[in-house]
């Protein structure tokens, strides 16, 4: 074992799911093998099931600012999606349709007839795919700062417009260079293995209004889970399947169930323009005093929006 791999394993053990759950009383740790992959999830609370899907570059732990309050009313199930955290990282299956099969198979294995489903970022893409493909299991859908890939992605700029690429993301002309960087196979792993904290710190500063709301402990947790080659490869595969996701989206009928879109200052206007085309029963809420990581920056506003919508 190389020293780098040894250090990575030590770092991961220092932030194990079991230790992290000590910060979330009432939640328990679980694994399930579904659709050929072993998924990790945590669960707490009772009531109508609320399935929660995290985004890049985080894990189930991203829901910890809101999970305890949600669990007072709902059975909260937070899943490390395929390729994330303590879940398996296979070589394929990262299109959102296949990842929705993973979630559906877990829902069925748990014996759940119908669920609310909520997703942030990449998790929002998977949550929408779940709702598109399995409306019979979907009571209500919530997406935060992320919606299913569509053809508009193909218009994203390679070079930022003059004056728009500053230390904070520009809401009118957002420049998300990592969407292209994560398309590259093999190289990001070599550049970022053992150094993922550099990317995290830069990203959180760029896409958050107040990145001090992302604590040093949280940064260390996420860096520990993304510091190795396999985790970087798997997370990048969520991005490398966007073309397939775009093709799949062309076959979907508009969603009929109630849908809530929650957008930060970065994404609200784009979600408000795009979601009405794919959701017939839509509510939109802008949390415009927050950047992309809404759970950390404005958890009270997220909880108010989610609980009002579900209730």
- Which residues in the chain come in under a pLDDT of 50? 1-11
Short-list 147, 115, 114, CA closest to 128: 147
**Complete DSSP assignment for 51-120:** EEE--TT--GGGGHHHHHHHTTTSEEEEEE-TTSTTS---SS--SHHHHHHHHHHHHHHTT-S-EEEEEE
Please write the tens of the pLDDT for every residue from 54-76.
999 999 999 999 999 999 999 99
Closest CA to 268 of 288, 283, 298, 282: 288
For residue 286, the model assigns a pLDDT of 98
The predicted-structure confidence for 165-184, as pLDDT tens digits, reads as follows: 999 999 999 999 999 999 99
| pLDDT at 123 (0 to 100) | 98
Residue whose entry in the numeric block shows the structure tokens 């417009």 = 161
**What CA–CA distance (Å, rounded) separates 80 from 84?**
5
Record the tokens describing residue 155, joined without a space.
């218009």
* Residues 264, 213: Cα–Cα separation, whole Å: 15
Question: Per-domain residue ranges for the chain?
Answer: 3-310
What letter would DSSP give residue 40?
A: E
- Backbone torsions φ then ψ of 18, nearest 5 degrees: -60, -45
Residue with tokens 């990262």: 94
How far is CA 61 from each of CA 4, 55, 111, 113, 221, rounded to the nearest angstrom?
Answer: 24, 11, 24, 26, 8
Smallest CA-to-CA distance from 43 within 26, 56, 57, 59 is with 26
Instruction: Say what the pLDDT of residue 24 is.
Output: 96
- Give the CA distances from residue 217 to residues 62, 214, 252, in Å, rounded to whole numbers and listed in that order: 12, 8, 40
Token pair, residue 85, equals 């955290």
Q: Which pTM does this prediction carry?
A: 0.95
CA atoms within 13 A on the CB side of 13: 6
Q: Please report the pLDDT score of residue 2 as a whole number.
A: 38
* Of residues 217, 192, 213, the one with CA closest to residue 204: 213
pLDDT of residue 195: 97
pLDDT at 17: 97
Q: Which of 3.40.50.1820, 3.50.50.60, 3.40.50.360, 1.10.460.10 is the CATH number of 3-310?
A: 3.40.50.1820
Q: Give me the pLDDT at residue 13, please.
A: 64
Q: How far apart are CA 235 and CA 283, in angstroms?
A: 30
| pLDDT tens per residue, range 44-59 | 999 999 999 999 999 9
> Is the distance from CB of 264 to CB of 305 less than 8 angstroms?
no
Question: Rounded to 10 degrees, what is the CA torsion of 250, 279, 237, 187?
Answer: 100
Give me the active site residues, please: 121, 239, 292
């Amino acid at each position: 074992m190389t020293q780098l791999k040894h250090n990575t394993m030590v770092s991961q053990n220092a932030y194990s799911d079991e230790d992290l759950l000590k910060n979330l009383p009432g939640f328990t740790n679980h694994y399930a093998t579904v659709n050929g992959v072993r998924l990790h999830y945590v669960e707490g609370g009772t009531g109508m099931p609320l399935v929660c899907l995290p985004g890049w570059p985080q894990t189930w732990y991203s829901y910890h600012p809101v999970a305890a309050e949600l669990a007072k009313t709902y059975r909260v199930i937070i899943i490390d999606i395929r390729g994330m955290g303590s879940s398996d990282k296979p070589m394929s299956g990262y299109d959102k349709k296949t990842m929705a099969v993973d979630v559906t198979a877990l829902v069925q294995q748990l014996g759940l007839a119908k669920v609310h489903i909520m997703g942030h970022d990449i998790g929002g893409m998977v949550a929408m795919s779940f709702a598109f493909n399995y409306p019979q299991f979907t009571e209500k859908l919530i997406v935060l700062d992320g919606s299913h890939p569509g053809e508009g992605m193909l218009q994203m700029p390679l070079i930022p417009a003059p004056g728009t690429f500053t230390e904070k993301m520009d809401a009118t002309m957002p420049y998300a260079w990592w969407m292209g960087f994560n398309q590259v196979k093999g190289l990001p792993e070599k550049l970022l293995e053992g150094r993922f904290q550099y990317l995290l710190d830069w990203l959180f500063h760029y896409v958050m209004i107040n990145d001090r709301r992302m604590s040093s402990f949280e940064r260390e947790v996420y860096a520990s889970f993304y510091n190795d080659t396999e985790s970087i490869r798997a997370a990048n595969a969520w991005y490398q399947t966007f073309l397939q996701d775009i093709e799949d989206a062309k076959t979907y009928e508009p969603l009929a169930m109630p849908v809530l879109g929650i957008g930060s200052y970065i994404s609200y206007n784009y979600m408000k323009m795009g979601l009405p085309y794919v959701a017939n029963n839509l509510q939109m809420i802008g949390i415009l005093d927050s950047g992309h990581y809404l759970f950390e920056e404005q958890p009270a506003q997220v909880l108010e929006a989610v609980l009002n919508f579900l209730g």
